Structure 1
Amino acid sequence: MTQVEKAIRFKQLHQKGAPLVLYNIWDAGGAKALAEAGASAVATGSWSVAAAHGYPDGEAIPLDLALSVVERICATVNLPVTVDFEGGYATEPSEVAENTRKVIRAGAVGINFEDRIVNGKGLHKVEAQVARIKAIRATAEEEGVPLFINARTDLFLSAKPDDHADLVSDALTREAAYAAAGADGFFVPGLTDHDLIRQITEAASLPVNVMMRGALETVADATATGAARASFGPAPYARYLSDLQAAYMEATKPA
């Protein structure tokens, strides 16, 4: 597939009630393993990519290094690749756009783009995030690639579960604004209550992405909420480390 064909295919994979499953990886080897296992697309996780190279999350890994990882992944598998791009490694729309151009030229066909102020407090105001999304969309059009912009809101990650019901309205306000700005998907990490997710999937115009954690124990759970995408975030990398440590301890235990 060409990059454009991958982008078109990736968007088609988002179906409400039949979620695209993305078991987030951090290197080309992991991407190849998932491709051989039958994955229809691969996704990086920012925490995992950073940790695998000795950095904390939060855009601490240098952008050039992160891009080199993306480029190797895209060169290794003939699948759509989406990148956890955090806040775009910049605040100003023009700078975010140019950084996104680099992601596209590395071969990716999708990004996660969050509204949290990375290394700051709170979320970007809706108007500011809309301007950033519009700049990304314009750049993707310039590059000739229908980039899948998965607009992530961190409303729920930054709040206590008991407060999540009160945030659904705010989340839907952001979803509508992000959709109008050119986003293709809406990501609500941290929200795991099935009924609340269902409220969002029923009202949203965009396909909704959930993160598998807490009460979202299985893909069947995500399917029942109407989600169109289920991703695993840092969980695969955490499991990989646990398995690696266990294998080492088994190999080195006294006879």
Structure 2
Amino acid sequence: MADLATRARTLLDLHEAPGILTLTNVWDVVSATVVASTPGVRALATASHSIAATFGYEDGENIPLDLHLDMVERIVRAVDVPVSMDLEAGYGDAGETARRAIGVGVVGGNLEDQMKPLDEAVAAVEAVLRAGRDAGIDFVLNARTDAFVRAAPDADHDAVLGEAITRGQAYLAVGAPVVFVPRVVAREDVVALVDAFGPRKLTLISVPGASLPARELEALGVARVSTGPFTQRVALTALQDAATEMVAGGTLPTGTRPLN
């Protein structure tokens, strides 16, 4: 496996390259090795929601950090590609959590702002970036704003978009390489965010049945698209469908592959 600094530089280069970086989020060693062995996959990202669910915890920093990091470390050791971790909101100390993640081999990460006061959110971004510098790596922080996630159903759309832009620009200004704006699916919002942040600075999550295809996001200047908890839901849907078919007297799906 390449050294930490090389993996970090590789992950940063993938975000800055002309082609969009697609990250299929993983949650344990077998999901990580299956995705990493898929042709065209160049990096991995973990999904905190999915890791928490694996151990029976609700999302939102309910899984103990030690347990979360243990799974992420197992994933890092199992693959030869750079790994980005979902740091959630930093578990109360974003800089220390980032340092611990780097210690297990992580070279990038998401950090939620949870719509905290902007100065606090910016300070957390700076703390994570400082942890990367202290470790001698270009830590690829995917600075997340929850402007759309936490907006009230009747919130003024333009105001929500404006808040996402303000926060994203603030994170970019202190050195975050990219900004993550989950729940954005409309083409006009994607265009507005790319215009505000610049090309290759926006990252999104692909929402089943709602998001634009990755190739279209690439054409619009999006840096990265990931899958969050949805890939685990894809796997669980297939599992439930197979169980339903068996209970009904059928058989397992034709074409099932020996991937483990």
If the length of structure 2 is used for normalisation, what is the TM-score? 0.88
1:68 and 2:87 correspond? no
Alpha-carbon distance in structure 2 between the residues aligned to 1:141 and 1:34? 29
2:44–2:81: 8 Å Cα contact kept in structure 1?
Answer: yes
The size of the alignment, in residue pairs, is: 245
Residue aligning to 1:221: 216
1:136 and 2:99 correspond? no
2:48–2:59: 8 Å Cα contact kept in structure 1?
Answer: yes
Aligned letter for 2:145?
T
Residue aligning to 1:164: 157
How far off its partner does 1:224 sit?
Answer: 3.4
How far off its partner does 1:48 sit?
Answer: 0.9
Using a 3 Å threshold, how does the CA distance of structure 1 residues 164 and 224 change in structure 2: closer, same or farther? Answer: farther
Which range is displaced more, 197-206 or 59-68?
Answer: 197-206
Residue aligning to 2:248: 253
Using a 3 Å threshold, how does the CA distance of structure 1 residues 16 and 227 change in structure 2: closer, same or farther? Answer: farther
Residue aligning to 2:138: 146
Alpha-carbon distance in structure 1 between the residues aligned to 2:161 and 2:206? 19
Residue aligning to 1:33: 34
Alpha-carbon distance in structure 1 between the residues aligned to 2:244 and 2:101? 39
Residue aligning to 1:107: 105
Identity %: 36
1:244 and 2:239 correspond? yes
Residue aligning to 1:193: 186
Alpha-carbon distance in structure 1 between the residues aligned to 2:184 and 2:159? 12
List gaps (5 residues or longer) in structure 1: 117-122
List gaps (5 residues or longer) in structure 2: 251-260
2:9–2:137: 8 Å Cα contact kept in structure 1?
Answer: no
Find the residue that maps to 1:73 and give its secondary structure.
helix
Which range is displaced more, 202-211 or 32-41?
Answer: 202-211
How far off its partner does 1:254 sit?
Answer: 3.2
1:17–1:227: 8 Å Cα contact kept in structure 2?
Answer: no
Find the residue that maps to 1:57 and give its secondary structure.
coil
Which range is displaced more, 76-85 or 165-174?
Answer: 165-174
Find the residue that maps to 2:185 and give its secondary structure.
coil
Alpha-carbon distance in structure 1 between the residues aligned to 2:96 and 2:210? 38
How far off its partner does 1:221 sit?
Answer: 3.1
How far off its partner does 1:138 sit?
Answer: 1.4
Alpha-carbon distance in structure 2 between the residues aligned to 1:211 and 1:165? 20
Alpha-carbon distance in structure 2 between the residues aligned to 1:145 and 1:247? 44
Which range is displaced more, 9-18 or 160-169?
Answer: 160-169
Q: How does 1:169-184 map to 2 (within 5 A)?
A: 169-184=162-177
How far off its partner does 1:162 sit?
Answer: 7.1
User: Could you list the per-position Cα deviations for residues 117-139 of structure 1 after superposition, in whole angstroms to 9, with x for gaps in the alignment?
Assistant: xxxxxx11111111111111112
Of 170, 184, 201 in structure 2, the residue corresponding to residue 207 of structure 1 is 201
1:24 and 2:18 correspond? no
1:125 and 2:117 correspond? yes
How far off its partner does 1:17 sit?
Answer: 6.2
Aligned letter for 1:191?
V
Question: RCO greater where, 1 or 2, for CA within 8 Å and sep 6 or more?
Answer: 1
If the length of structure 1 is used for normalisation, what is the TM-score? 0.90
User: Could you list the per-position Cα deviations for residues 202-241 of structure 1 after superposition, in whole angstroms to 9, with x for gaps in the alignment?
Assistant: 2204611011125314212322332110111111111111
Aligned letter for 2:111?
F
Residue aligning to 1:81: 83
Aligned letter for 2:205?
M
